[in-house]
């Protein structure tokens, strides 16, 4: 038996394709024909001719449909005629018996098709009725479930609504349309109080509502809830509610009817909020406003009589108030402005800087826009009556409770007369101070052993401030203990003869002072003005002059010695060098040859020191060099190329970054190359193996700059100022190891100075050293 999936697939093909339907009908007829032939061959004429075709017709009519069944009948008739003609001959078809059977086959086949169609229609009607009943049952079940769910949701929503009503901060009262039932939330119970009892009603104690606007009691029929029960809606009715226990509350009441789905009123709801606190606050606010208005009137009276000008501005800068003092400061024609831009009408200049005041720089504008408080601003003003004056200007912002700026207030004090008197006094004081502070000598005015005044030179010389020395016995405190008696004697004797004292500064240091006093008669006693001059520098200068003469004498003797004996030094060194060279080649022992090479290195070092001494002496004697334009790039390239091999032997990397264009300077090529070679030798000498040396050249304004940086051990900061001194070594032990003589950097500095250049050095311990050489550039010649 075929599986259900195959049958379902077959039925689907029958429903969708007429070719399949008629193909199956044809196959059924052919099977009936084959079966008829087989029965004829097996049993003879035991079966009627059309019996097997009835089966095909019944099958097609039941399974496929009416039209394929009619097609089956027609095709079966043709097959029957084919069968009769084949077995009995063509003439047998015309016999009455066969014609009768043919007609009977047609009739019976159509009868079977009709019967089958009736059966199928009856079955469809029965299935339809059964499906309709099942659908109705399903609909009823669904409606029942929806009803039950609706009941649950209504109960839940009712619970939610009841919980919300209980927690609402307003009172809610719901009354049925006939007044038979009512409900209210907890807040309503609190606001309305307990319901009246019969005893309360007999005593006239009932709930009452009084219209706040009119102050008259509301009639019962005008109560908002009763009006809502009549279908009216009321909004924001403000009443004073009096409970049974005579508790007074102010309420805002809203009421409205509740309708069912047909529009019939079924209940009324009233919602009321407690406005008692709001009315109390409103009363307090009105009282506060009245008090504020009273205070404003008092302030107005104070402002009107103030001798200073007071101006108040709104947040946009508009001047909304100016008292009489403001008009006295600026003149009676003082204008009012609508915004801060109008401040340009007021002409004023800062007394200290002389800068004119713009609308943005006025203290009022700064207070409004930036919240700045100005306390003492002195301005020179031009009044609106054409006169000028001076005033003190102050301003501050006015803020609300949240801190936002809502306005500003400014105060103006006219100090024209005071300022003019102060200016005259200050001019007099200035002239006195100019005379008193004139000159380089320190001066002190003292009377009765009390210092009255000192000049600026005194404070610079002795380190005391004017406040520290004025009023003290300064004439004694600024001298040493040994000289105190001499100072006291000079003061007591009122001597005007000059004398010398060892004086003491505030920091404890001493100096040699030259003093001379002048006595000035005064009603309170003799006023002495003492002049103090520091002669320590004169004494030091005299000692320095003597030392310089002695140093110049020694330098000339050294130069004479070097010029006289340089040849005597170099000739023995050359002989020793040649002898060691020949000796090295005659010795077979490697240790002996190494010692000979050490001798050669030391001889070479001594020769280099002699050459450096000679060079240094020549540079000292040479006032100027013959400078000519030269391309510094070519000199740097040649020097760098010559130093590549010594750097490579020591395991160093020497990099040069040179400009592609010529870098012209005024100089002597040999000396410039000598200085740069010495700097590179110095870098190679003091950089450990695997280190790096970089040379960079570039222009900086009107100067050519060469920077030589190494990754060596570096130098301490205290040595940087002395490394250009002759024979100075940062580390004697390191100099002996590297072969430095302490003269190379001195030669470099003198060469650079003779080229009108400058050399600087930067170094840190463990981070290397950078030498920076700067030479004036020259325009290249064509």
Each residue of 749-769: pLDDT tens digit? 878 888 888 899 898 888 889
Query: pLDDT confidence of 736, banded at 50, 70, 90?
Result: very low
Whole-number Å distance between alpha carbons of 621 and 294: 97
Query: pLDDT confidence of 169, banded at 50, 70, 90?
Result: confident
772 pLDDT higher than 60: yes
Whole-number Å distance between alpha carbons of 367 and 360: 10
Handedness of CA 336, 338, 340, 345 (dihedral sign): negative
Query: pLDDT confidence of 18, banded at 50, 70, 90?
Result: confident
Looking only at the bridges linking them, the beta strands covering 653-657 and 692-700 are parallel
Q: What average pLDDT does this structure show over 468-487?
A: 67
Contact 351, 379 (CB under 8 A): yes
Query: pLDDT confidence of 476, banded at 50, 70, 90?
Result: very low
Q: What average pLDDT does this structure show over 480-505?
A: 70
Residues linked to residue 629 through DSSP beta bridges, in sequence order: 666
Q: What average pLDDT does this structure show over 613-618?
A: 58
Can you point out the beta strands (E) in 365-463?
374-382, 388-399, 405-414, 442-447, 450-454
pTM of the model: 0.32
pLDDT value of position 627: 80
Q: What average pLDDT does this structure show over 668-687?
A: 86
- % of the chain exceeding 90 in pLDDT: 11
Tokens of 357: 């005041």
pLDDT value of position 653: 92
The pLDDT tens digits for 206-242 are 778 888 888 888 888 888 888 888 888 888 888 888 8
665 pLDDT higher than 70: yes
Check residues 421 and 489 and name the one with the higher pLDDT. Answer: 421
Mean pLDDT of all residues belonging to the chain: 78
User: Where is average pLDDT lowest: 166-180, 458-472, 650-664, 720-734?
Assistant: 720-734
120 Ramachandran zone, left/alpha/beta (phi>0; psi -120 to 50): alpha
* Dihedral angle of Cα 449, 452, 458, 459, to the nearest 10 degrees: 110
Check residues 645 and 781 and name the one with the higher pLDDT. Answer: 645
Looking only at the bridges linking them, the beta strands covering 703-710 and 208-211 are unpaired
Can you point out the beta strands (E) in 93-245?
171-176, 182-184, 208-211, 234-242
- % of the chain exceeding 70 in pLDDT: 78
Whole-number Å distance between alpha carbons of 90 and 66: 31
Phi then psi for residue 178, to 5 deg, are -90, 0
Query: pLDDT confidence of 781, banded at 50, 70, 90?
Result: very low
pLDDT value of position 697: 93
pLDDT value of position 201: 73
- Winning range, highest mean pLDDT, from 45-49, 467-471, 682-686, 776-780: 682-686
Query: pLDDT confidence of 478, banded at 50, 70, 90?
Result: low
Q: What average pLDDT does this structure show over 369-377?
A: 89
Handedness of CA 244, 245, 250, 256 (dihedral sign): negative
pLDDT value of position 733: 44
Q: What average pLDDT does this structure show over 616-638?
A: 74
User: Where is average pLDDT lowest: 26-35, 85-94, 514-523?
Assistant: 85-94
Whole-number Å distance between alpha carbons of 30 and 26: 6
Tokens of 586: 């005659």
pLDDT value of position 358: 92
The DSSP 8-state label assigned to residue 340 in this structure reads G
């Amino acid at each position: 038996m075929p599986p259900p999936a195959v049958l379902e697939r077959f039925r689907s093909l029958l429903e969708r394709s007429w070719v399949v339907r008629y193909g199956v009908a044809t196959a059924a007829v052919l099977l009936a024909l084959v079966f008829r032939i087989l029965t004829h061959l097996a049993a003879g004429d035991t079966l009627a001719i059309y019996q097997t075709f009835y089966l095909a017709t019944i099958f097609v009519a039941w399974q496929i449909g009416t039209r394929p069944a009619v097609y089956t009948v027609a095709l079966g008739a043709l097959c029957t005629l084919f069968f009769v003609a084949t077995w009995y001959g063509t003439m047998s078809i015309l016999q009455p018996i066969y014609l009768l059977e043919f007609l009977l086959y047609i009739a019976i086949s159509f009868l079977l098709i009709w019967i089958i169609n009736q059966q199928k229609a009856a079955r469809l009607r029965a299935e339809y009725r059964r499906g309709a009943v099942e659908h109705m049952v399903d609909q009823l079940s669904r409606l029942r479930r929806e009803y039950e769910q609706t009941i649950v949701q209504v109960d839940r929503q009712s619970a939610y609504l009841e919980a919300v009503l209980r927690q609402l901060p307003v009172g809610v009262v719901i009354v049925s349309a006939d007044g038979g039932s009512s409900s209210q939330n907890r807040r309503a119970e609190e606001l309305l109080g307990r319901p009246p009892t019969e005893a309360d009603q007999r005593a006239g104690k009932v709930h009452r509502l009084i219209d706040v606007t009119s102050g008259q009691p509301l009639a019962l029929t005008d109560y908002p809830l009763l009006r809502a029960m009549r279908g009216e809606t009321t909004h924001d009715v403000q009443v004073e509610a009096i409970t049974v226990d005579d508790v007074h509350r102010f309420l805002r009441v809203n009421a409205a009817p509740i309708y069912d789905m047909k529009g019939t009123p079924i209940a009324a709801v009233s919602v009321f909020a407690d406005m008692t606190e709001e009315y109390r606050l409103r009363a307090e606010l009105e009282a506060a406003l009245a008090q504020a208005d009273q205070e404003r009137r008092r302030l107005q009276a104070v402002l009107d009589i103030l001798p200073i000008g007071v101006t108040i501005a709104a947040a946009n800068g508009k001047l909304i108030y100016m008292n009489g003092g403001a008009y006295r400061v600026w003149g009676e024609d003082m204008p009012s402005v609508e915004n801060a831009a109008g401040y340009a009408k007021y002409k004023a200049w800062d007394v200290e800087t002389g800068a004119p005041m713009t609308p943005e720089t006025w203290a009022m504008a700064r207070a409004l826009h930036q919240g700045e408080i100005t306390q003492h601003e002195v301005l020179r003003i031009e009044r609106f009556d054409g006169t000028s004056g001076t005033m003190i200007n102050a301003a501050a912002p006015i803020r609300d409770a949240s801190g936002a700026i809502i306005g500003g207030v400014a105060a103006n004090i006219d100090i024209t007369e005071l300022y003019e008197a102060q200016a005259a006094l200050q001019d007099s004081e200035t002239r006195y101070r100019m005379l008193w502070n004139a000159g380089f000598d320190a001066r002190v005015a003292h009377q009765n052993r009390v210092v009255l005044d000192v000049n600026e030179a005194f404070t610079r010389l002795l380190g005391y401030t004017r406040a520290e020395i004025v009023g003290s016995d300064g004439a004694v405190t600024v001298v040493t203990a040994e000289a105190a008696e001499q100072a006291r004697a000079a003061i007591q004797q009122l001597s005007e003869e000059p004398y010398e004292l060892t004086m003491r500064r505030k920091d404890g240091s001493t100096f040699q002072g030259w003093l001379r006093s002048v006595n000035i008669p005064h009603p309170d006693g003799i006023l002495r003005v003492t002049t103090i001059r520091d002669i320590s520098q004169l004494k030091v200068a005299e000692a320095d002059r003597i030392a310089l003469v002695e140093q110049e004498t020694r330098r000339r003797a050294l130069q004479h010695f070097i010029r006289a004996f340089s040849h005597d030094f170099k000739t023995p060194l050359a002989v020793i060098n040649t002898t060691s060279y020949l000796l090295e080649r005659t010795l077979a022992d490697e240790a002996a040859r190494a010692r000979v090479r050490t001798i050669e290195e030391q001889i070479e070092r001594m020769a280099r020191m002699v050459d450096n001494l000679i060079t240094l002496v020549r540079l000292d004697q040479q006032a100027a060099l013959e400078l000519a334009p030269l391309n510094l790039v070519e000199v740097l390239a040649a020097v760098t190329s010559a130093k590549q091999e010594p750097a490579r032997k020591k395991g160093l990397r020497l990099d040069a970054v040179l400009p592609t264009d010529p870098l012209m300077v005024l100089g002597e090529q040999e000396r410039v190359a000598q200085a740069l070679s010495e700097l590179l030798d110095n870098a190679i000498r003091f950089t450990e193996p695997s280190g790096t040396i970089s040379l960079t050249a570039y222009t900086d304004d009107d100067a050519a700059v060469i920077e030589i940086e190494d990754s060596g051990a570096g130098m301490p900061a205290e040595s940087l100022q002395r490394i250009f001194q002759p024979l100075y070594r940062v580390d004697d032990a390191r100099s002996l190891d590297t072969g430095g003589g302490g003269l190379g950097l001195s030669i470099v500095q003198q060469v650079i100075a003779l080229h009108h250049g400058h050399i600087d050095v930067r170094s840190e311990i463990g981070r290397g050293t950078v030498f920076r050489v700067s030479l004036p550039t020259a325009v290249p010649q064509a």
